[in-house]
Structures are given as C-alpha cells and as structure tokens.
C-alpha cells in the first residue's frame, strides 16, 4: 500500500515534475481536440509535415540566437499557409502538397544548420523533447497558447466538421473553405510547436493523432469523440510521466508508448469497431441477408458520423 502511495505522490514532491505534469496535461488536451479534426479530415500526414516544417525556423532561431519556439512557429505557419494555397488545386491531393513542402522545409533547415558548427547537441531537446527541464515561463506560455487554441477550435468547430465531411457541400453552403483550411493548419502548427517540449519533434505526431484515433474507434458521435480524445491524450501523458519518474526512462518516449498501447487496446476491444469484439459479435449472431445489408451500412464513415451528431 505504501509503495502505491509513494508511486502516486512521489513525483509531486518535485517542482520540475509538477511543471511537467501541467504541460503534459495541457498538451494532451489541446492535441486531442485539434487532432480530432485532423483525423476526421483524414490528413494525419499534416502533423508530421508541420513537425518537420518548423525545423528551418528553429534552425534560423538557433543561428541568430533568438527563441527557438517562436522561430519554429513562424516557419510552421508559413509552410501551413503555402500548403493551404497550393491544395486549392484539386488536381493534387492534399497529402501530395504536404509531402512536397515538408520535405523542402526540412531540407532548408538542414542547409541552414550546416552553417552553424556544433549544432547537433544544442537541438537534442527540440528533437526528443525535454519536458522535465521546462521553466515556469514555459508553463505559462503553453497555458496561454493552449487556451487560445481551444477557444478558436470551439468557435469554428461546426464549420471545420462540415468541411471535413464534405467540402463541396461546405462550398455550396457559402462557407469560406480556404479560410477554414488555413485556420486548421494554423491550429495544427501551434499545437505541434507547444508540444515540442513534451515529446519532441520526432514523436509529436503521436500526441496529435493517436488519442483522436482511439476516440474514433470508441464512438460514432463527434461530440463524444471531441471529449474522449483530449481525455486519452492527457491521461496517457500523465501515466507516461509517472512511469518515467518510477523507472528513470525518457519521458517523451514513454508518453508516446502509453498512448500507443491505449490505441492497440481500442483497436482490439472497442465496443463496436474493435477487431475482437466485432468477431465475437459476428459469431454470436447469425445474420440474415437483410441484416447483413443493414450491418454493412452501419455508421462507420464520416458521413454517418455526422448523421449521429445532434443538430445545433
């Protein structure tokens, strides 16, 4: 019993761990909310693209000795805007344009850094995260930026969902589709930037996408998905930090492994869409031909997801 209490209360005795928990929870919540829109849009690649596109901004900030996060945010936003503009040509799929620009941005970052000798060690925290070394100022920055992101996401939630489900319908309704694309890309960019210290550039995609993917498996309702994703993200971040403290292992990597473990459990055991539960359901119920047709039409795609969302 004492060992359990020590496990639960021990980390809170240290200021650096309290800061880490605060940032981990905030990043998990924001990443879950924004990531839900990314998963609905089917554009998980954008998270990886943005995490790479911030690289030249960080490189320039390193060379000229100013704030790395600010430099990364500016570069990421500029790249996101370029992707939004070039994606308007529907001849090219969105992921194609993303691939072009994130590769170019990462290449530019490498070229810029090659002019600064001895840069590798200095950017280790950017690549792998340094959540146990953050300051009070970092906590405040993440809190303020996270609140702004949540307010913006809430303000345009219905519009973003409409565009994600059917761009043509959104255009016919008179929605500013291009502007909404820019807003979503900007939300993703800033979310990635504020999460870099938690899990690093290499692993940030997991925090953005995996909790939302878990929620997508667990529910057919957008409202519930928007609540589950941040809960899973924040919970996984906290458990990962506990394990990091207990076993003296890398915090960012453990956060990602925990949320990946949650995804595997959901993939296997989700009530409606889990692999094992679906097989059990099929074995336990012999379906007539009409029932088979009805089962194949169950709401698993985005259109059906929208139909299950209460109006207003």
Q: Which domains does the chain have, with CATH numbers?
A: 2-307 (1.10.3470.10)
User: Which of 9-13, 213-217, 276-280, 300-304 is the most confident on average?
Assistant: 213-217
Q: What is the pLDDT of residue 309?
A: 53
Q: What is the pLDDT of residue 192?
A: 87
Which band of pLDDT confidence, cut at 50, 70 and 90, is reported for residue 125? low
Which band of pLDDT confidence, cut at 50, 70 and 90, is reported for residue 296? very low
250 conformational bin, left if phi > 0, alpha if psi -120 to 50, beta if neither: beta
Q: What is the pLDDT of residue 176?
A: 94
Tens of pLDDT along 37-66? 999 888 777 777 777 778 788 778 877 877
Q: What is the mean pLDDT of the chain?
A: 82
Q: What is the mean pLDDT of residues 168-179?
A: 92
Q: What is the pLDDT of residue 124?
A: 64
Q: For residue 129, give both structure tokens.
A: 């995260």
Give the rounded percent of residues in the chain with a pLDDT score beyond 70: 82
Q: What is the pLDDT of residue 241?
A: 93
Kindly tell me if the per-residue pLDDT of 21 is higher than 80: yes
Q: What is the mean pLDDT of residues 156-176?
A: 92
Which band of pLDDT confidence, cut at 50, 70 and 90, is reported for residue 287? very low
């Amino acid at each position: 019993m004492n060992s359990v209490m020590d496990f639960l209360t021990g980390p809170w005795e240290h200021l650096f761990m309290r800061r880490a928990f605060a940032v981990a929870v905030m990043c998990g919540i924001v990443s879950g909310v924004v990531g839900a829109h990314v998963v609905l849009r089917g554009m998980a690649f954008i998270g990886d693209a943005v995490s790479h596109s911030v690289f030249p901004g960080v490189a320039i900030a390193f060379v000229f000795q100013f704030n790395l996060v600010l430099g990364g945010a500016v570069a990421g936003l500029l790249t996101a805007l370029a992707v939004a503009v070039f994606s308007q040509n529907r001849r090219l799929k969105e992921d194609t344009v993303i691939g072009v620009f994130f590769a170019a941005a990462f290449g530019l970052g490498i070229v810029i850094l090659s002019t600064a000798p001895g840069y590798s060690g200095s950017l280790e925290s950017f690549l792998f995260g340094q959540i146990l070394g953050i300051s009070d100022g970092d906590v405040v920055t993440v809190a303020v930026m996270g609140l702004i992101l949540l307010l913006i996401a809430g303000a345009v939630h219905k519009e973003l969902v409409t565009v994600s489900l059917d761009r043509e319908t959104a255009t016919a309704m008179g929605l500013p589709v291009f502007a909404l694309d820019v807003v979503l890309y900007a939300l993703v960019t800033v979310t990635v930037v504020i999460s870099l210290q938690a899990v690093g550039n290499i692993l940030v995609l997991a925090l953005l996408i995996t909790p939302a993917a878990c929620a997508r498996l667990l529910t057919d309702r957008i409202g519930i998905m928007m609540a589950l994703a941040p809960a899973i993200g924040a919970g996984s971040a906290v458990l990962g930090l506990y394990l990091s403290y207990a076993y003296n292992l890398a915090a960012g990597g453990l956060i990602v492994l925990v949320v990946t473990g949650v995804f595997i459990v959901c993939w296997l055991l989700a009530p409606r869409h889990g692999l094992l539960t679906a097989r059990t359901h099929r074995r336990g119920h012999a379906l007539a031909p009409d029932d088979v047709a009805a089962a194949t039409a169950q709401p698993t795609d985005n259109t059906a997801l929208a139909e299950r969302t209460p109006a207003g």
